[in-house]
Chains A and B, each alone.
Chain A
Amino acid sequence: KAGVTQTPRYLIKTRGQQVTLSCSPISGHRSVSWYQQTPGQGLQFLFEYFSETQRNKGNFPGRFSGRQFSNSRSEMNVSTLELGDSALYLCASSALTGDEQYFGPGTRLTVT
């Protein structure tokens, strides 16, 4: 079974721009979660989608948004990028609530 895939793997953007990251979960998994990882703050939960509905949201500003499609693929969008948004963005999928989450390799975003 293929693992969680994230595209692109690396991205460089300029402050003020917007960016869209993509995540394809493991086949059959309906839950997709997004995390931001930075050296200073560690791994922080962004939001979780299940069957196209956002069920949980972390403490991030409205510039961070996401969506999930009917095939469970998910996208995350960050608008008006700030230098502090530079981070590794991780996506994780699970089959059902409470199941272990399988993480993708992440997208490394650098904002200059």
Chain B
Amino acid sequence: DAKTTQPTSMDCAEGRAANLPCNHSTISGNEYVYWYRQIHSQGPQYIIHGLKNNETNEMASLIITEDRKSSTLILPHATLRDTAVYYCIVRVGWNQFYFGTGTSLTVIP
């Protein structure tokens, strides 16, 4: 039922920007895109969300294409602690989140 597709894994050099892509070609006009990450054995952690405008917070930036069919999460200066599985999620209905399989990001020293 996942409405998003992401690459299975990615590597990023420490200190560089990590750009994580996500496709959500069937997204509806009022469905938000959320990003969470999960560090091994812990509960997922909220990162950012948006509808159609680009968003930025202290953790990351979210770039959503104009047609809303894809988005990119940007971690501006990746650190070793950013190694995690990153989930791109579309919220359906009230509070129903489909997590998909996520991207395993490895930050390399």
Show the binding face of A for B, using Cβ within 8 Å.
4, 31, 33, 35, 42-45, 48, 50, 55-56, 58-59, 90, 92, 94, 97-98, 100-106
Given contacts A56-B93, A98-B95, 19 further A-B contacts (CB under 8 A): A33-B95, A42-B99, A42-B101, A43-B44, A45-B96, A48-B94, A48-B96, A50-B95, A55-B95, A56-B94, A56-B96, A58-B1, A90-B44, A92-B44, A94-B95, A97-B95, A100-B34, A101-B95, A105-B43
Give 24 A-B contacts (CB < 8 Å), ordered by A residue: A33-B95, A33-B97, A35-B99, A42-B99, A43-B87, A43-B99, A45-B96, A48-B96, A50-B94, A55-B94, A55-B95, A56-B93, A58-B1, A90-B43, A92-B43, A97-B95, A98-B32, A98-B91, A100-B34, A101-B46, A101-B95, A101-B97, A104-B43, A105-B43
* Chain B interface SS verdict (over half): loop
* Chain A interface SS verdict (over half): strand
